Structure 1
């Protein structure tokens, strides 16, 4: 039903067919591109808010392009068009999912209708499409302006009343949305645009309107909003957990920065420095640790290790392990037996995990290093400009097996020796299969000449950071270097 023009408005001129064809073709190509992206957005993990948000955005874009293409088809004033028909066929797959029975998928039939309410004769005329939108038969007929709010959901009725009143009394155009409860129990969201039609005296004679079913479009927009909120919530949780993990890590790892001398004085003291290197993704805070402390008997504890996992769970488990390790070392438990107790602790933990560790106990009086390891890279010993791994005693990963006995070994150190303890994440890389060394260990051993020239352990640490700090690293890493004094 064509609308009546207002007294001061010219009748619109039909657009050029070629221009509309060009717009339809451009919309069709864009719709195909967006739909291709939508198909590629495969939800491998339904619980991933980012993937759900991306898919919802694609769905919304396809819905909007479907509506745009259908509007452009109507601009052709019903003239047949292969482009419009092809667009309708391509849109049918998505639009058909949200179309009530009787609608033609991918078009505006059943989704856009018109109405006119004559205020002088009380005559009401609805298009067949509008009757279909409201779920009314031709026998039931259209609704008057007084009866129209009765089919709306209760909370939307005041909105429609206000829109109609403003239009009829103040001559304001109608532009608003409301939800209709159909007789079949389905709720449809309608967008209504209309205006008063004036008589020759400038008085309101009737009101006409175009109503569009935007239910599918609004559902897509709501899906985008929900997934976006879910993504923001997950990002907030991730940031909070990372902050907690960082704070816990900083609270547990040794408070000293720079160099540390243990014991403070006397022959055989160790010059110690350490550093933590984050992973490529700074969000991945792992369960790595390093520590050095003087024991009650005058000996020095040196340890590095790493637990599987990331985030607050890994960091809290690391805090538990490091606390237990410190306590047992202070109690005088030897490195091999200490590893066995740590293995039992991880095995019986509420949050099971695997871990690797090395624990050393250095006697400054004899310069003897007693040590044990659990599936961890051996310490590297640098002497006279050359480096080598210390032969390893047997030891499996912490938490991997029950009742495991960890061997303990010892090595005699000399003044000027440099001992490098590191976690596996530092030295990952391409190793030499013929040498039998762990991946990346050769690169560390290649730093021997620079370690020989260094005057302090801190200078050695700087050398390691220069070499490995810019390396792509999937996991965080720790390095601890001890230099034997005269």
Structure 2
């Protein structure tokens, strides 16, 4: 999937999860980039939620993105857990013997018990928005894809309450030239908090996507928001 220059979509209900996505690319000439997202129903009733970021821009990064996204889709549909999915993507990228690297976060939400199980590969933390505020989830260990073929990817699990939202994003959303990336994550959390406070319950998801700032216009950016209903 090649992401358009500006792609904003409210994808509706996926197995009881409301999803919205905003993606933008830095290379306006090629109109493709290396960031991707996945939000899809799985055969057992779970929902796959993921974002990824291939180093670089343009067609080379986009070609790698398409391959990684396709493998993540296939393995998740086959029932693989997030940690195993990322390990397979890492081995695939390492076998290519290039300097291409990628980061990703892959989550599997189970509507039956409202739990999210996720793993990360060198990626930024998922943000969790609750009635008490917005804060990062625990980050299970996992290095970037394409570094070490023997790398392992631990998983973490959290149970969500009604009305809570999750935000996955790439560094183009939060990275700024004159500020540390941790500050950018805090800025995104504040954007989400304000959007949730000012929007009606049914509009919170889209309002959060609309109001979140763009960190670095010279980098691809992808922001996925999910709200179990």
Q: TM-score, normalised by structure 2?
A: 0.89
CA distance in 1 between partners of 2:80 and 2:198 (Å) = 36
Structure with more helix by fraction: 1
Q: Does 1:259 align with 2:4?
A: no
Decide whether the 8 Å contact of 1:377 with 1:422 is kept in 2.
yes
CA distance in 1 between partners of 2:9 and 2:134 (Å) = 26
What residue is the counterpart of 1:458 in the other structure? 206
Give RMSD over aligned pairs. Answer: 2.1
What residue is the counterpart of 1:26 in the other structure? none
CA distance in 2 between partners of 1:400 and 1:327 (Å) = 22
1:403 aligned counterpart, secondary structure: coil
Q: Which has the larger radius of gyration?
A: 1
Cα distance per residue 1:147-166 (max 9 Å; x no partner): xxxxxxxxxxxxxxxxxxxx
Out of 76, 82, 99, the position equivalent to 1:329 is: 76
Cα distance per residue 1:173-213 (max 9 Å; x no partner): xxxxxxxxxxxxxxxxxxxxxxxxxxxxxxxxxxxxxxxxx
Out of 19, 25, 28, the position equivalent to 1:282 is: 28
2:88 aligned counterpart, secondary structure: helix
Decide whether the 8 Å contact of 1:358 with 1:371 is kept in 2.
yes
Q: Does 1:361 align with 2:114?
A: no
CA distance in 1 between partners of 2:198 and 2:127 (Å) = 17
Cα distance per residue 1:353-374 (max 9 Å; x no partner): 1000000000011000000000
Decide whether the 8 Å contact of 1:367 with 1:412 is kept in 2.
yes
CA distance in 2 between partners of 1:282 and 1:256 (Å) = 16
Decide whether the 8 Å contact of 1:357 with 1:373 is kept in 2.
yes
Decide whether the 8 Å contact of 1:384 with 1:452 is kept in 2.
no
Decide whether the 8 Å contact of 2:3 with 2:25 is kept in 1.
no
Q: 1:441 to 1:291 in 2, by over 3 A?
A: same
Q: CA deviation at 1:260?
A: 2.1
Decide whether the 8 Å contact of 1:431 with 1:441 is kept in 2.
no
Q: CA deviation at 1:350?
A: 6.2
Q: 1:295 to 1:354 in 2, by over 3 A?
A: same
What residue is the counterpart of 1:391 in the other structure? 138
Q: CA deviation at 1:351?
A: 5.0
> How do residues 30-179 of structure 1 correspond to structure 2 at under 5 angstroms?
none
CA distance in 2 between partners of 1:310 and 1:292 (Å) = 23
CA distance in 2 between partners of 1:409 and 1:320 (Å) = 25
Q: CA deviation at 1:259?
A: 3.0
Q: CA deviation at 1:439?
A: 3.8
Out of 194, 213, 218, the position equivalent to 1:474 is: 218
Q: How many equivalent pairs are there? A: 221
Q: CA deviation at 1:317?
A: 0.8
What residue is the counterpart of 1:380 in the other structure? 127
Larger relative contact order, structure 1 or 2 (CA cutoff 8 Å, min sep 6): 2
Out of 88, 91, 95, the position equivalent to 1:348 is: 95
Cα distance per residue 1:211-252 (max 9 Å; x no partner): xxxxxxxxxxxxxxxxxxxxxxxxxxxxxxxxxxxxx5059x
Decide whether the 8 Å contact of 2:171 with 2:221 is kept in 1.
yes
What residue is the counterpart of 1:84 in the other structure? none
Q: TM-score, normalised by structure 1?
A: 0.43
Structure 1 residue ranges, 4+ long, deviating more than 4 angstroms after superposition: none
Decide whether the 8 Å contact of 1:385 with 1:452 is kept in 2.
no
Q: CA deviation at 1:438?
A: 2.0
What residue is the counterpart of 1:310 in the other structure? 57
